[in-house]
Amino acid sequence: MVGSPMSDNERSGRRLRKFRLAMVNAGLYGLSLISAAIAQPTAIAQPTEITQLPATEEVDPASTEQEASALELRERLQRLLEGARDAPERPSSESDTFNRFPTLGSTVFDAQLASYRAYVETVGTPDILIVGSSRALQGIDPTELSYRLSGQGYDDLKVYNFSVNGATAQVVNFVMSELLPGPLPEIVVWGDGSRAFNDGRRDRTWESLVASPGYQAVLRGDAPTITNEAEAAIAPAPESGLEQTEAEPVTDQIEAAASLTSTAGIDRLGFSAVGDRFDPAVYYQEVAKVQGRYDGAYSPFVLEGSQAEALEQLATFLQQQDSQLFFVNLPLSDSYLDAYRLYYENQFQDFLVAQRDSHSFEVIDLLTEWRSQPELFADPSHINRYGAAAIAQLLARHSTLLLALDTADLNPVAVPAGASSIEPVIESLAEEPTETATEER
């Protein structure tokens, strides 16, 4: 007799029971909440749902040392969860404090700054700040990165994602060097690709920013600040005007695809979790496939100009502030990387190497990492939430990032004995197939 198909809740419950059993065997049942976050990906993007860890069940320890190690691991993870829970709610556009800083010309930009100010006011400056365009906004999961680093002994690290759709090198430079209040983070992870540096195309995001009242306020010396009051908010963008710029050509897929204009999907750590899974066979029945030679993101393709200058300025500024810059060249899908685009992307890879050598920042090049894994993308050029978690896991294991954390005195504590026995179980659960999401983007 063939049973009825399992529902999503039954499937999640089954994975949860398997993981709990593994943790009981290791004497680490206190990690059960983490298993729930993995079995249900939405929990990663909703730190508010995390509750107190349950008390550790009585398991006869093999030795006093093992018992102490299990307790230490549980306490470390408890602190991690409390840090995520303590992150403030994103300020509401209906609140009285939302009109304290003039608009920066973009709904997402305004909301990200408001949320970041509230975060710094409440939690403090993040240790690791993620910046970039919509590709980083939905492509690098700060909660997952913090969790994976904690598993390696880098305890209590705060990670925040301050990415804005359409952000180019000029925009990121402005954000880091002139806009953000408070001390700068020790580590800056900039996730993006060639589009952010191509001076052959019009930079509409920068034009909108420069024309905004918020930008003019910063020029006057009225940059956002952090106070002891709940002032970390921003005036909403006008209903018409700055955001209604001339539309990009349809061929400019990098900017046109999945460009966020709403803040509804952005969590309290600045991350937008997109559940769509890219299936080329289905996707290109609904969206015309544009060959690279007709893509406005590559024609013309110029890597010398204001964007390259902005990169140089930012790298120099961060060095002066004792912050370490990492540029992550995010993956593109195989269906997107045709021969024409790949030719120019290879030029961009050479550009990054030259800039790295000249200006002393780190490059993590993942361009072709997932050419055969479309399920980690939401569309041809944007990563989904599952890919964002995978990127975070990769970064948490990257030797140069770990070295930078050590150099910044964010040194790891010893990983308790037995912790490694749980990691393969976590990885296998994270890699289990999940139903394709149908949420609107």
> pLDDT tens for residues 117-139?
999 999 999 999 999 999 999 99
Segment 364-383 mean pLDDT: 96
pLDDT of 38 higher than 80: no
Better pLDDT: 303 or 233: 303
- Residue located via tokens 């020029």: 219
pLDDT of 141 higher than 60: yes
pLDDT of 237 higher than 70: no
pLDDT of 259 higher than 60: no
Query: Which candidate, 170, 377, 105, 142, places its Cα nearest to that of 266?
Result: 142
Q: What is the pLDDT of residue 377?
A: 97
Going by pLDDT thresholds of 50, 70 and 90, the confidence category of residue 392 is very high
Going by pLDDT thresholds of 50, 70 and 90, the confidence category of residue 410 is confident
Q: What is the pLDDT of residue 435?
A: 38
Better pLDDT: 16 or 439: 16
Going by pLDDT thresholds of 50, 70 and 90, the confidence category of residue 341 is very high
pLDDT of 185 higher than 50: yes
pLDDT of 63 higher than 90: no
pLDDT tens-digit map of 205-216:
999 999 999 999
Query: Which candidate, 423, 408, 440, places its Cα nearest to that of 73?
Result: 423
pLDDT of 94 higher than 80: no
Comparing 13-17, 242-246, 298-302, which segment has the lowest mean pLDDT?
Answer: 242-246
Going by pLDDT thresholds of 50, 70 and 90, the confidence category of residue 286 is very high
**Which residues have C-beta within 8 Å of that of residue 77, sequence separation ≥ 6?**
30, 31, 34, 53, 150
Q: What is the pLDDT of residue 71?
A: 53
Helix axes of 385-397 and 399-407: crossing angle, nearest 10 degrees: 60
Q: What is the pLDDT of residue 436?
A: 36
Q: What is the pLDDT of residue 428?
A: 37
Q: What is the pLDDT of residue 88?
A: 59
Q: What is the pTM of this model?
A: 0.70
Q: What is the pLDDT of residue 160?
A: 98
pLDDT of 25 higher than 80: no
φ/ψ of residue 250, rounded to 5:
-60, -30
Domains and CATH numbers, the chain: 96-407 (3.40.50.1110)
Going by pLDDT thresholds of 50, 70 and 90, the confidence category of residue 72 is low
Strand 382-383 and strand 377-379: pairing?
A: antiparallel
**Percent of the chain's residues with pLDDT above 70:** 62
Q: What is the pLDDT of residue 101?
A: 86
pLDDT tens-digit map of 421-430:
334 333 433 4
| Per-residue buried b or exposed e for 188-203, using 16+ beta carbons within 10 Å of the residue's own CB | bbbbbbbbbbbbbbeb
pLDDT of 254 higher than 50: no
Q: What is the pLDDT of residue 388?
A: 97
Q: What is the pLDDT of residue 420?
A: 38
Better pLDDT: 140 or 415: 140
Q: Would you call 411 exposed, middle or buried from its count of C-beta atoms within 10 A (0-12, 13-18, 19+)?
A: exposed
**Which residues have C-beta within 8 Å of that of residue 242, sequence separation ≥ 6?**
103, 105, 106, 208, 211, 212
